[in-house]
Structure 1
Amino acid sequence: MNLRTQRKMAAKILKVGENKVWVDPENVDNVSMAIRKEDIRALIKNKAIRAKDTVGASRGRARRLAKKKRKGQRRGEGKLRGKKYSRISRKELWMKKIRPIRKLLKELRARRAITPTVHRKLYLMTKGGAFRNVAHVKSYIKEQKLARR
C-alpha cells in the first residue's frame, strides 16, 4: 500500500521530515483512506500516525570524560598543546610568583616580624629572582635568622 501522500501531509502537520512519520501497521487501511488534512489530523489524534523521536548522539561518554577532567585526570603530557611559554607566558608566570611573595613581605613588615632594612634586602632579592615561592622565602628567613624576636 502506498502512503506517500498521507506521509507528506502528516509530515507537514507534525512539522517533521517524511522519514520521521510513523504509521501504525494495524491502522494502515484507515491511513490509506485519509485524503484530506482533516483526516490525517484525526488519525494523529487517535495515535495511528505519530512523529518519531529525534535521535541524537549520546552525551554519556562526554559526561564521563568531563567528570574525569573536573577531577584533574586526563591532563598528562600527551594532552599538552603548544610550547611551555605559549601556554602561559613568562610574564604571567613571573606575576604569579612575585605577587604572593611581595604580599608576604608587606605583611611581615606590617606585623613588624622583619625590620625595614631586612624587608628592603629581601624585596630586592625577590626582584632578582632569588626565591622560587613563598615557602622558599620563609625558609630563607628562618635559616638566616632574619626574623625579629
Structure 2
Amino acid sequence: MSDLSTQKRIAAAVLKCGVNRVWLNPERLSDIEAAISRSEIRELVAEGVIKAGVVKGNSRGRARIREAKRSYGHKKGYGRRKGSAGARTPSKRQWIMKIRAIRSSLREMREDGTVDRRTYRTLYRRAAGGQFRSRAHMKSHVDMMKGRTE
C-alpha cells in the first residue's frame, strides 16, 4: 500500500474537515493514488470514493445515569457537597418552591369548593405573609377553620 497522506490532506481541505475524518475507499486506492490535484480529488469526492466521516461527540450516557440516581437522592451525601445548604438551595429558591406549592393547592381547594372565594383570599394573603410552613400546615389550618365554623 502506497503513502496517501498528500491525498488525504488535500481531501481534508476540500471536505473542510480534519485529516482523521477523511475516509478513502479501499477498493479504489489506485485511483486515489493517481489523483494529485484538487480538481481530481473533488471528482473522487463527487463519485463517493472519498468521504468525510461523522463527527464524534462525547457520550452523555454516564451523565444521564448519574442525574437519574441523584433525582432519587443517591450520590448526594456529605462527602459530595461543596457549598453550604444556603448556597446549594438559596432561601429565595426555597421560598419560591414553597409558595408555589401552597398557592397551587389553594387554587385547587377553591375550584373544588373546599374554600370559598373570600376564605381563599385571606389564606392567600396569609401565605404571602409567611404564616404557613408547608402545604400540610396550610391544609391543617383550613381544617381547623372549618371545625370552628361548622
Please report the TM-score for the alignment, with normalisation by the length of structure 1.
Answer: 0.57
1:109, 1:63 → 2: CA distance? 45
Distance 1:7 1:80, change over 3 A: same
CA deviation after TM superposition for structure 1 residue 65, in Å: 4.1
Query: Residues 1-149 of structure 1 correspond to what in structure 2 (within 5 A)?
Result: 1-67=2-68, 72-74=72-74, 76-78=76-78, 80-89=81-90, 96=98, 100=102, 110-111=118-119, 132-133=133-134, 135-136=136-137, 138=140, 142=144, 147-149=148-150
State which structure, 1 or 2, has the greater radius of gyration over its C-alpha atoms: 1
Of all paired residues, the percent bearing the same amino acid is 31
Unaligned residue ranges in structure 2 (runs of 5+): 107-114
| Corresponding residue of 1:116 | none
Please report the TM-score for the alignment, with normalisation by the length of structure 2.
Answer: 0.57
Q: Is the 8 A contact 2:69 2:75 kept in 1?
A: no
Task: Tell me the SS of whatever aligns to 1:147.
Answer: helix
Distance 1:83 1:55, change over 3 A: same
AA matched with 2:56: V
RMSD: 4.1
